[in-house]
Amino acid sequence: MVNAFLLIPGAPLFGALLMLFLGRRLPKSAVSFICVGSVLVSFAVSVTALASMPPQDILLGSWLPSIGAEWGFHWDALAGVMALVVTGIGSLIHIYSVGYMKDEGGYYRFFGYLNFFIFAMLLLVLANNYVLLFAGWEGVGLASYLLIGFWFRTWNAAGALPRPVRESTMEPTAAARSAGIGSWSSPFKRSPAMAVIVSGLMSAGLQWPRQAGSGRSFRRSSG
């Protein structure tokens, strides 16, 4: 089951990489099949893992040995529920986008960005240490930047980019560090209180100011 578990973050990452390197050559039907299918696979494995996989850490290797950071995931009931939320709602968004984006140029780019967003969100909720958690969070910020700026030729999208990206990445990260959060590599299971504090600080980037900036960026110009 551990090998299958890696499909939860791995399937959306595979879709994103495929769009990056081969997406331009693929017809829209193939793009839809790959990108929607990858998130549905992730959702199905999340359901199976939540039902049958006991709580555990899955370690893939060392990332930054000097501070003890690992490439690793932590799985328990909370992580399973969050994975279901990310992949379940993400699947619905992907399916809706197939129809919404059917007449748009850069179809493969949009779905590649969506797949990358799902991967980054899964990295965020499944990471077993704070370094990897922040890597996931910054990945979410990058994916937001790419999605908000998808219509980069319109003034609204290009002009509204800096504010939501700044508020969703740099400010929460600085707030977490200034609050005196301890070792970046402390696993969640050893410090649940710190996990709550970090999550609260980072959630500030998702509140009203960012919503306002994002809303402006998605108003397509009529001209």
Predicted confidence at residue 159, as pLDDT, reads 55
Q: Output the 3-class SS for 7-66.
A: HHHHHHHHHHHHHHHHHHHCCHHHHHHHHHHHHHHHHHHHHHHHHHCCCEEEEEEEEEHH
Predicted confidence at residue 62, as pLDDT, reads 79
Place of tokens 């949009």: 110
- What mean pLDDT is predicted for residues 205-221? 45
Percent of the chain with pLDDT over 90: 47
Predicted confidence at residue 184, as pLDDT, reads 47
pLDDT in tens, 161-199: 555 555 555 555 554 554 444 444 444 444 554 555 455
Predicted confidence at residue 150, as pLDDT, reads 80
User: Is the pLDDT at 93 greater than 70, yes or no?
Assistant: yes
Residue 107's alpha-carbon distances to 35, 36, 223, in angstroms, are 11, 13, 21
Predicted confidence at residue 63, as pLDDT, reads 74
The answer for 131, left when phi > 0, alpha when psi is -120 to 50, beta otherwise, is alpha
Please give the backbone phi and psi of residue 136, each rounded to the nearest 5 degrees, phi first: -65, -40
pLDDT in tens, 24-73: 999 999 999 999 999 999 999 999 999 999 999 998 887 777 766 778 89
Residue 75's alpha-carbon distances to 168, 175, 183, 186, in angstroms, are 26, 27, 21, 16
pLDDT in tens, 100-120: 999 888 999 999 999 999 999
Domain boundaries, the chain: 1-128, 129-223
Residues 6+ apart with CB under 8 A from 215: none
